[in-house]
Chains A and B, each alone.
Chain A
Amino acid sequence: ILNVEQSPQSLHVQEGDSTNFTCSFPSSNFYALHWYRWETAKSPEALFVMTLNGDEKKKGRISATLNTKEGYSYLYIKGSQPEDSATYLCAPYSGNTPLVFGKGTRLSVIA
């Protein structure tokens, strides 16, 4: 089973703060890296699917970068809002197995 580490496990920030968290994965046999947002009482929803080293994706105030050579991805949220409160999951795809999800980073944004 692929070893996927997400840090921190949880995070509490004030409204308006910017924040970031990390996803680490094995750099060998890399095909793609997924980020999902999972709000309480809802289903996980995809944020980004990234494939290229150095790739940077953006959706509103959320952006992500990818380093496939060293096996990590950062997710950034600029000016956090209460509606950003959720668990953020990353999942690498290595080609020979389905996605392996990390345990996630739980973000709480305090108004």
Chain B
Amino acid sequence: DVKVTQSSRYLVKRTGEKVFLECVQDMDHENMFWYRQDPGLGLRLIYFSYDVKMKEKGDIPEGYSVSREKKERFSLILESASTNQTSMYLCASSFRRGYNEQFFGPGTRLTVL
């Protein structure tokens, strides 16, 4: 049973803080993804990774960076949090690019004050 876990369900941070969101999957998936979900905008891809140490920008990478040092872990970093980064963040993983379903974590609701 695939499991994707995220480090926090709820997080409150202050403007300018550095924020780390961690995602871990236990099914040896090559592909991992970070999305944010905002009302009326759907799921938008921030960054993705098809392999360890590999990262690619998604549709909205500005203000974010990522790290993938191990296959099972994909971290999203907000270098200097801003109020417009208040959102729901979802991590996902999959086996084969595009041909296999993505498995999603429970999400992190981040509030930046």
Hey, which bits of chain A sit against chain B, CB under 8 A? Answer: 1, 31-32, 34, 36, 42-46, 49, 51, 89, 93-95, 98-104
Bound: A1/B105 CA distance, A? 24
- Assess the A98–B100 pair: CB atoms within 8 A: no
Q: Give the chain A neighbours of B4 by CB distance below 8 A.
A: 43
- Assess the A93–B40 pair: CB atoms within 8 A: no
- Assess the B33–A103 pair: CB atoms within 8 A: no
- 15 A-B interface contacts by CB (under 8 A): A31-B98, A32-B98, A34-B102, A36-B102, A43-B104, A44-B90, A44-B102, A45-B104, A46-B102, A49-B101, A89-B42, A93-B98, A94-B98, A98-B31, A98-B98
Checking B40, B58, B105, B106 against A98 with a beta-carbon cut-off of 8 angstroms, the contacting residue is: B58
Given contacts A42-B106, A49-B100, 12 further A-B contacts (CB under 8 A): A31-B98, A31-B99, A32-B98, A43-B107, A44-B43, A44-B102, A44-B104, A89-B43, A94-B98, A95-B98, A100-B45, A102-B42
| Chain B count of residues within 8 A CB distance of the other chain | 24
Bound: A34/B35 CA distance, A? 16
| B contact face: mostly helix, strand, loop, or mixed | loop
Hey, which bits of chain B sit against chain A, CB under 8 A? Answer: 4, 31, 33, 35, 40-43, 45, 48, 58-59, 90, 97-107
